[in-house]
Amino acid sequence: MIVAVDGPTASGKGTIARALAAHFSLPHLDTGLLYRAVGRQVLLNGGDPDDPADALAACAFPDALLADPELRSEATGSLASRASIHPAVRQALFDRQRKFATQPGGAVLDGRDIGTVIAPEAGAKLYVTASVPARAKRRWLEMHGQGRDVALEAIEEDLRVRDARDSGRKDAPLRAADDAVVLDTSNMTRDEAIAAAIALVEARRPI
């Protein structure tokens, strides 16, 4: 079974997707990491993520880049959001994601367009979301735990800008698939969100 987990930045979708993969013994792909690698590669190339040609050239990033811890930074996330609006970039990464999704036995993928574009036939689709203040607080706590001093207000503003960019782009905008179940984690603990997600997927597993 294919499990699609979509949602905005810092909603908890990555944590939930990893937990689902472990629970159901399925391989997991964080598709956002691919776009972050493109954003990072644009920077390494000295290019501009807003330039379609520069962003497309960065799609040829080496696999080793996926292990770069800098991919998880806020700066790289912003670069990824800017690079991902280009249709050519999304097409370049489509086949890679599609191959992972359709492997024998199934898979769990998380991103922004899994249930709508990459695997519309997914047997279980979750759209994980949370309020901007809740998401910003989680990211702030995470970054402070890493010893990084970032203002909460700055994180909130960055999330609002990225939400608007991701949901407003013409190609594969961020949205819940028509048949997705929306899971709002604003007032949930990590364990509560994971338990809710597992229950939702269990209800959609083939008998």
Question: What's the CATH code of the domain at 39?
Answer: 3.40.50.300
Question: Vertex 171, ends 168 and 174: CA angle to 5°?
Answer: 50
What is the per-residue pLDDT for 73? 87
pLDDT of 207 higher than 70: no
In total, how many domains does the chain have?
1
Residue 154 lies in a domain: yes
Q: 74-83 vs 152-168: helix axis angle to the nearest 10?
A: 20
Tokens of 39: 């954003």
- Please provide the average confidence, as pLDDT, over all residues in the chain: 93
Residue 207 lies in a domain: no
Sequence-ordered list of residues with C-beta below 8 angstroms from that of 185, at least 6 positions apart, any chain: 11, 12, 16, 128, 129, 130, 134, 193
Residue 90 lies in a domain: yes
172: left (phi over 0), alpha (psi -120 to 50) or beta: left
Task: Please name the amino acid found at residue 134.
Answer: A
Confidence of residue 145 (pLDDT cuts 50, 70, 90): confident
Considering just the CA atoms, what is the radius of gyration of the chain in Å?
16
pLDDT of 131 higher than 80: yes
Which backbone phi and psi does 108 adopt, to 5 degrees? -115, 125
Write out the residue range of the structural domain in which residue 68 sits: 2-202
Residue 38 lies in a domain: yes
pLDDT: which is higher, 172 or 49: 49
**Residue 169's CB: how many other CB atoms inside 10 A?**
18
Helix (H, G, I), strand (E, B) or coil at 97: helix
pLDDT in tens, 36-67: 999 999 999 999 999 999 999 999 999 899 99
Residue 76 lies in a domain: yes
**Residue 161's CB: how many other CB atoms inside 10 A?**
12
Which backbone phi and psi does 109 adopt, to 5 degrees? -125, 140
DSSP letter assigned to residue 180: P
pLDDT in tens, 173-185: 889 999 999 999 9
Tokens 């574009």: give the residue.
Answer: 117
What is the per-residue pLDDT for 168? 87
Residue 108 lies in a domain: yes
pLDDT of 206 higher than 80: no
**Where would I find the beta strands (DSSP E) of 28-161?**
28-30, 107-111, 124-129
pLDDT of 147 higher than 70: yes
Residue 7 lies in a domain: yes
Q: Determine the average pLDDT of the residues in 189-195.
A: 96
Residue 62 lies in a domain: yes
Question: Are the C-beta atoms of 6 and 176 separated by less than 8 Å?
Answer: yes
Give the percent of the chain with pLDDT over 70.
99
pLDDT in tens, 94-129: 988 999 999 999 999 999 899 999 999 999 999 999
What is the per-residue pLDDT for 74? 81
